[in-house]
Structure 1
Amino acid sequence: KQVWAELEKIVKPEAVLATNTSSLSITAMAEELEHPERVVGFHFFNPVAVLPLLEIVRGERTDDATLATAFAVGKQLRKSSVLVSDAPAFVVNRLLTRFLGTVFAAVDQGTPLDVANSALDPLGLPMRPLALLQLVGPAVAYHVGGTLHAAFPDRFSVSENLKRIADSGQPIVVDDRGNEDVAKLLVVGDEPLTAEQVRQNALDALAQEIRLMLDEGVVAEAQDIDLCMILGAGWPFHLGGVTPYLDRTGTSERVTGRRFLPRGVASLRG
């Protein structure tokens, strides 16, 4: 807020103020400016040179000219831009935090690191959960988790084990020895899960969160979430998108009571 307040006094009236924040509110960041309508979320994904997604976040007072400028710049950068509302952690980080949060919750319960880390392998994701956590950074993951816990405490928990890892500076996945060192930091329960249970819990959490996001209007339709997860999180393209996958496996109807897409759309079973 301080930086933008200082910038606002010296930049041209038509200048756009854009932020790459992964979880903070665009509306809150702009609320004390004289011209909050020029502020927009411009959220890239790591590594930026590889992942083509750009989440363009409209704050409550972001105007059409600012939004159009953001989309034009995104096109010049050869990014695939998706309009999202100013909801906590937007789309990809909200879903990944919920998805991976279930994996780390399994670790907290006492599931061995190697079991939790390999549980999602049948999905064909580009990285295992702990490798992704290391890439994002445990401190960043813990911060985003805290933002979502504050917004949705019933669904997002804050893992003290993740905080221990962040505070220690230990690499999570480097080699077997690295995992052993991390394991020594953890305080866990005595209710370990099987890999299948970890995987199903993660998919159930995805289905529930996607339904809530669609009901909240975070994006316009389920296909926007599919695009975000394929281009920003590496969801396997051959699965046709996360919502068709959840529909085909019956997870959508079991968890939310209905499908995300009409029967026969992006479905191998018709």
Structure 2
Amino acid sequence: MSSLSSELQQVFKEHADKARPVRKAAVLGAGIMGGGITITSAAHGVPVLMKDIAEAQLELGMNEARRQVGRLVQKEKITPEQAEEVMASIDPTLEYLGFDQVDAVIEAVVENLDLKHRVLDELENVVRDEAIIATNTSSLRIDDIGQHMKHPERFVGMHFFNPVPVMPLVEIIQGTKTRDEAVSTAVTWALKMGKTPIVVQDCPGFLVNRILTAYTRAFLELVAEGVDFEHIDKSMEAFGWPMGPAYLEDVIGIDTGSHVSDVISAGYPDRMPHIENDAFRLMKSRDRLGQKNGKGFYDYTPDDSGRPQKHSSPEAHELIRTIQPNGRKELSVEEIQQRMMLAMITESVHCLEDRVVGSAEELDTALLMGVGFPRDKGGAIRYADSLGAKAVLAQCELYRHLGAQYEPTATIRKLAETDGSFYDEFPAGN
């Protein structure tokens, strides 16, 4: 926590003052995410009941826990004796026995609304009234998931990023009925797990994926116009991203990325309308899913250690040409960077105006920790401030003919007139 600003540390302290202690927890669903959450909690001193409906799935979850503990030992972060204690604090189970003793439970089953409703019905009957119930959803609205709950005031979102033990960010999502104490308890538990929690309000895509969707949609629009996707990747890597948007989608999984993009876009139809020549949808339809099956925007072959190595794919380029009705289009690196980043900046400002997140600093922290935003740029809002609101407005005017995603917001116009700062307009702890 020491690397975070004093303002953010103060926010966390205020949450700690309102939180209930989490001394024992439960995780429902023993998949990759459930297993990752379980081991992260257990490794930081909070014992966990890990429940699933299938013995084989439980064994998968425990294997994931053993693998992660083994990595901690290998990196000398814990001793072999401590590793044994961590594993002993995880109790795999097919039943709800002991759930009446936990202070918090995270539901981490698949992203199916009906299944989540059934699971939450069962949970409410077995946990104590004062226990918080969290969901590790990445795309479903908290209010939709909790709509049938008897006590939605104790229901909160805890969106962990994959892989859980490695990714530092957790989005804590507050539904319209979630009480502040439940949010503060989730924040403080996430901090205890060594994570950086950022509180966001319930909306399609929450914060990070909503802003990332604006960025990837800018990529899809460029590709549909005829710009070479490898040129876009190299342009964004030159800006400072660890990987370009096409490569990023291959790593995420194009089927996953396409679904998330469609779901979130549907929540903002004015700024994120249907894209006719959608490269994600095309790739998915041809079973080019990225690294998971060795072919996406790039082709992949394993190296000696089994890691996928990226290669240019003539087949992918040929396929993409079928959705570029006007042929190839050459754009400068600068124009590509401007369009990609401006889409991200404007959506970030929309999030601040909508009060989805408490401050510019919290928004930027989420982007730095959740999507690998170039650290030297400081986040979308810090980068906007480095350009200056007048320059951001000028870029909006330059590209607004391309669609509503580039339309300047009221705040952008106001700060351009007053020569103001986005950080001053949306301070932490206000």
* TM norm structure 2: 0.57
Q: Is 1:221 paired with 2:383?
A: no
Q: Is 1:206 paired with 2:363?
A: no
SS at match of 1:220: coil
User: Does the 8 A contact of 1:37 with 1:63 survive in 2?
Assistant: yes
User: Does the 8 A contact of 1:252 with 1:260 survive in 2?
Assistant: no
Q: CA RMSD of the aligned region, Å?
A: 2.2
Match of 2:257 among 138, 141, 148: 141
Q: Which amino acid aligns with 1:239?
A: K
User: Does the 8 A contact of 1:104 with 1:116 survive in 2?
Assistant: no
> What CA distance in whole angstroms lies between the structure 1 residues aligned with 2:280 and 2:234?
18
Cα deviation digits, residues 109-157 of structure 1 (max 9, x gap): 2111211222212221112211211222212212221222221112224
> What CA distance in whole angstroms lies between the structure 2 residues aligned with 1:157 and 1:141?
17
User: Does the 8 A contact of 1:102 with 1:198 survive in 2?
Assistant: no
Match of 1:79 among 189, 195, 220: 195
The alpha carbon displacement at 1:88 in A equals: 1.2
Greater shift after overlay, 58-67 or 178-187?
A: 178-187
Matches within 5 A, 1:221-260: 221-250=359-388, 251-254=391-394, 255=396, 256-257=412-413, 258=415, 259-260=421-422
- What residue is the counterpart of 2:222 in the other structure? 106
The alpha carbon displacement at 1:163 in A equals: 1.4
Q: Percent identity?
A: 30
Structure 2 residue ranges without an equivalent (≥5): 1-116, 289-294, 301-309, 397-411, 416-420
Summarize the Cα distance change of 1:46–1:252 in structure 2 as closer, same or farther, 3 Å threshold.
farther
- Bigger relative CO (Cα 8 Å, ≥ 6 apart): 1
The alpha carbon displacement at 1:49 in A equals: 2.5
Summarize the Cα distance change of 1:242–1:66 in structure 2 as closer, same or farther, 3 Å threshold.
same
> What CA distance in whole angstroms lies between the structure 1 residues aligned with 2:197 and 2:257?
23
SS at match of 1:185: helix
Q: Is 1:27 paired with 2:151?
A: no
SS at match of 2:181: helix
- What residue is the counterpart of 2:279 in the other structure? 161
Q: Is 1:188 paired with 2:324?
A: yes
Matches within 5 A, 1:11-22: 11-22=127-138
Match of 1:127 among 243, 258, 277: 243
Greater shift after overlay, 15-24 or 185-194?
A: 185-194
SS at match of 1:9: helix
Cα deviation digits, residues 79-128 of structure 1 (max 9, x gap): 01111100211111111110121012111121112112222122211122
The alpha carbon displacement at 1:20 in A equals: 1.8
> What CA distance in whole angstroms lies between the structure 2 residues aligned with 1:33 and 1:185?
47
Structure 1 residue ranges without an equivalent (≥5): 266-270
The alpha carbon displacement at 1:11 in A equals: 2.7
> What CA distance in whole angstroms lies between the structure 1 residues aligned with 2:318 and 2:359?
44
